[in-house]
A and B are shown apart, each in its own frame.
Chain A
Amino acid sequence: MKIILDSNQIEQILGDLTSSIITDTPPDLDIAVIGIRSRGEILAERLSERLSKELGKDIPCGTLDITLYRDDLNSPSGNTQPHVRTTEIGFDIDDKIIILVDDVLYTGRSARAAMAALIDLGRPRAIKLAVLVDRVGREMPIHADYAGYKSDAAPGKLVQVNLVESDGKDEVVIE
């Protein structure tokens, strides 16, 4: 097991992502942050806090459960079973710039599912993808608009993001 990001580096990355998002987005447009369950949800909360502070206005934050939109629901994968949880987005996504947040971008399948799920909720002005770790191994034509750490971890490796809220401490490890 190797630590590739410690808590200071994670903080640094979240700061950088926040600045890039602010630089990119015209001030007259509404931004909202939506995290993919489960680690993306925590990162989204942190990002929306930072954005709210920097922009001096309340940036809404929601949580998206993508289980029903996964592309592997009917292909028997054996050991893992999808658990349906709630989507909690307490605002209208129409015409907003949606910053979609996940911990790791790898195959791109979660991001695809998340976009399908979002479009069933309304019509955002744009969907931008922000991730903590951008890992090689894409299986879909998807890229991150805001990526923190770039990892070239080999396909068999597990890149695991641990966060204080769910795992006790902030770190990213390769197992």
Chain B
Amino acid sequence: MALKRKSKQFKWHHKHLLGLRELSAEEITYILDTAKGFEQISTRSVKKAPPLRGKVVVNLFFEDSTRTRNSFSLAANRLSADIIEFTKKDSSVSKGETLLDTARNLEAMGIDIVVIRHGAGGAPRFLSRNINACVVNAGDGFCEHPTQGLLDTYTIRKIKGTLEGLKIAIVGDVAHSRVARSDMWAMTKLGAEVTFVGPPTLMPTEVSRLPVKVSYSLDEVIEKVDVINMLRIQFERLGGNPFPSIREYSHYFGLTVERMKKAKSDILVMHPGPINRGLEMESEVADGRNSVILEQVTNGLAVRMAVLFLVNQAAAQTK
């Protein structure tokens, strides 16, 4: 109950959430603290609160998504916003409309928040500079997936108490992973040591400039880490032949029951979903006692409610 009336209160002023790279540790912590207040909405008899009543949220998804899109929809619903679902398949984008035209047309209908997922890195930032609505990045190219980074960090903080001093491995297809990048920014800013693990062909080219360690051997890393986040192999993005065979990849970088025997007993096993069972992770591990994969999904809802609430607040303050 540490409240000091006279202490200067932190003020959130971002009406867009574009990435975690540009946020300070204090701002990230503030989102996580705010998310805590939203958790109980999902557990009570009326699973709804009124702060976004009369606001319109658009889910503008140019790439497939189930979890993230549903999570944002439900978060918006729980805050009493109205929601428009927009997917590339059944829209005028298939008739050749540009991103900006699509967004401006939606804005002309009086929307307040755009949640965008786009294959091109930087698309959310481009949009934020050209429309008045709040923009929330739900994944752009290989750049960022800030709400996933936040919910992963939230899940770790909730169980471990703090990120400070934790050793965290992010394993697999790092090159094609915006989750890995958002995780890295949030987790290192909050004081964790992050190691990217995977074959050299799946490491990002800019890795030497990032605040992470790199390892090409999961066996060397597994016994030292407190948290292991297994990325999905993104077959839809893989070009060329980054590894000789799926079996070989699994053998070296899959999280197997055998490999888990070397891990700390309280290691947290995470996965951003959807899981390729038996490829990056064996089913027994995904469903095992160290797995927090479903907690990640639950926490994602609270984190997204917090983000929608905060960007809307910032917009209200700058009106």
Contacts and interface: CB of A to CB of B under 8 A. Distances in A.
Interface of A: 38, 41-42, 65, 67-69, 73-76, 78, 81-87, 116-117, 119-122, 160, 165-167
B161 interface: no
Which range contains the number of B residues in contact with the other chain?
20 to 34
A67 B37 contact: yes
Given A68-B79, A75-B316, 4 more contacts: A81-B12, A116-B50, A121-B46, A160-B5
A85 B9 CA distance: 14
B51 to A, nearest CB: 5
A166 B2 CA distance: 7
A95 B317 CA distance: 39
A117 B40 CA distance: 12
A167 B5 contact: yes
8 contacts: A41-B1, A75-B316, A76-B319, A83-B9, A117-B49, A120-B48, A121-B46, A165-B1
Chief secondary structure at chain B's binding surface: loop
A121 B34 contact: no
A67 B48 CA distance: 14
B313 interface: yes
Contacts of B54: 74
Given A69-B50, A86-B40, A116-B50, A76 B317 contact: yes
Interface string B1-19: 1011100011110000000
Contact of B316 (A76, A86, A121, A165): A76
A81 B1 contact: no
Given A68-B49, A116-B50, A120-B46, A81 B37 contact: no
B306 A120 contact: no
B311 to A, nearest CB: 13
Contact of A78 (B12, B39, B317): B317
A76 B312 CA distance: 11
Given A42-B1, A81-B317, A121-B45, A86 B11 contact: no
A74 B316 contact: yes
Contact of A68 (B1, B50, B319): B50
Contact of B45 (A41, A68, A122): A122
Contacts of A87: 37, 40
Contacts of A81: 9, 11-12, 313, 317
B44 A68 contact: no
Interface of B: 1, 3-5, 9-12, 34, 36-40, 44-46, 48-51, 54, 79, 306, 309, 312-313, 316-319
Contacts of B51: 67-69, 73
A38 B45 contact: no
Given A75-B316, A76-B317, A84 B37 contact: yes
A166 B1 CA distance: 7
Contact of B313 (A73, A165, A167): A73
Contacts of A167: 4-5
Given A165-B1, A166-B1, A83 B34 contact: yes
Nearest to A77: B317
Contacts of A117: 49
A160 B319 CA distance: 30
Given A120-B45, A160-B5, A84 B317 contact: no
Contacts of A121: 44-46
A142 B26 CA distance: 39
A44 B140 CA distance: 47
Contacts of A166: 1, 3-5
A121 B51 CA distance: 16
Contacts of A74: 54, 312, 316
Contacts of A42: 1
**Top 5 A-B pairs, shortest CB-CB distance:** A84-B37, A120-B46, A68-B49, A68-B51, A76-B319
Most buried by B among A65, A85, A120: A120
A109 B296 CA distance: 36
B218 to A, nearest CB: 38
A86 B41 CA distance: 10
A85 B319 contact: no
A73 B55 CA distance: 12
B35 to A, nearest CB: 9
Contacts of B1: 38, 41-42, 165-166
B3 A38 contact: yes
Contacts of A116: 50
A149 B9 CA distance: 29
Nearest to A160: B5
